[in-house]
Amino acid sequence: MATEPIAPGAVDFLLDADGDIALFADGALRFVFGAEAIAQGARIRFGVWRGEWFGNLNEGIPMIQTLVQTGISLTTASAVYRRALQVTPGIAAVESVTVSRVSPRTLAVAWVARKVTGGILRSSDFKPFVVPI
């Protein structure tokens, strides 16, 4: 049986619904692989606002600087999330990004990307990418 080569971003700790590292009952770490790991990496990138992480204040989505301060333009938001996907380990190219408003303070991000190992990754194959603004 052929297996997909392990690409950057294709292995990670599994995060639970709260964003904490998931553990087995015996306390062992759980991992996520392949497309699931890449999608989890994208979800993490979407959740970090620029200036939030002390280790690199330039890292993250420019939510305050670009989106909230200037008013949410869905076109601008699509470009911002496209840039975040383009630097997500395991993603070679972003085919499309569509942002829609779920509520006044929530956006849904749908995307299609090409993996570095080949093949297509679709956000619709995973839990919805809904981000607060």
pLDDT tens-digit map of 44-81: 899 888 888 788 888 888 887 777 766 678 898 999 99
**Nearest residue to 113 via CA among 98, 129, 94:** 94
Q: Is 91 exposed, middle or buried, given 0-12, 13-18 or 19+ CB atoms closer than 10 A?
A: buried
Write down the pLDDT at residue 48. 87
Confidence of residue 2 (pLDDT cuts 50, 70, 90): very low
| Choice among 7-21, 22-36, 97-111 with the minimum mean pLDDT | 7-21
Write down the pLDDT at residue 90. 93
| Mean pLDDT in residue range 17-21 | 78
* Domain boundaries defined on the chain: 11-132
Phi-psi region of 15 (alpha: psi -120 to 50; beta: other; left: phi over 0): beta
Mean pLDDT (the chain, rounded) = 85
Strands 120-122 and 130-132: unpaired
**Nearest residue to 124 via CA among 100, 106, 105, 104:** 100
Write down the pLDDT at residue 8. 58
Distance between CA 40 and CA 36 in Å, rounded?
6
Q: 11-132 in CATH: which number? A: 3.10.450.40
